[in-house]
A = this chain, B = another copy of it.
Amino acid sequence: MPAPSPSPLPLLVDADCCAPLGVDPLDDGSAQQLAQAFKALADPVRLRLLSIIAAAPTGEVCACDLTGPVAKSQPTVSHHLKVLREAGLVASRKHGTWVHYRAVPEQLAALRHVLALDPVSGP
C-alpha cells in the first residue's frame, strides 16, 4: 500500500511540528507543512466557516446550515470544507443524509504554538 493516507496532512501535533517561530528557524519540510495549514486559513470564506463551526454551542454544525451564512454556492462551500478537513482543522461525521462538522482543537493549538515567539507558551 503505497498511499493509503485519506488525510494527506497529519495533525501537526502528531508530526511533532514545530518549535515556536521565535525559537528555531524552520527547516524546509516543516515550513511546507506549516504553510499548507496556514493556507487553509488564508481565505475569508474558510475563516467564516471555521468560526461558525468552532463557535457552535453544540460543537457541531450541519453542512446544510453553512451554505447560507457565507453566501456561496453549495459546491463552493463543500470545496472549502474539504480544504479545512484536509488541513486537519475540522472533522466530519456523517449522520444519515447529513454531514456534521466540528473543529479540531489540537490542530488550532498547534498553530497557535508555532506563532509564539518564546518557548514558554504553555502546552
Seen from chain A, the residues whose Cβ lies within 8 Å of a Cβ on chain B are 21-26, 28, 31-32, 34-35, 38-39, 41-48, 50-52, 54-55, 69, 103, 105, 108-109, 111-112, 115-117
Contact = CB atoms under 8 A, between A and B. Distances in A.
Contact of A48 (B28, B38, B41, B115): B28
A34 B47 contact: yes
**Interface class of chain A by DSSP:** helix
A95 to B, nearest CB: 22
B48 A25 contact: yes
A39 B71 CA distance: 22
A21 B117 contact: no
13 contacts: A21-B50, A21-B55, A22-B55, A24-B51, A25-B48, A31-B44, A31-B47, A34-B44, A35-B43, A38-B38, A38-B47, A39-B42, A54-B117
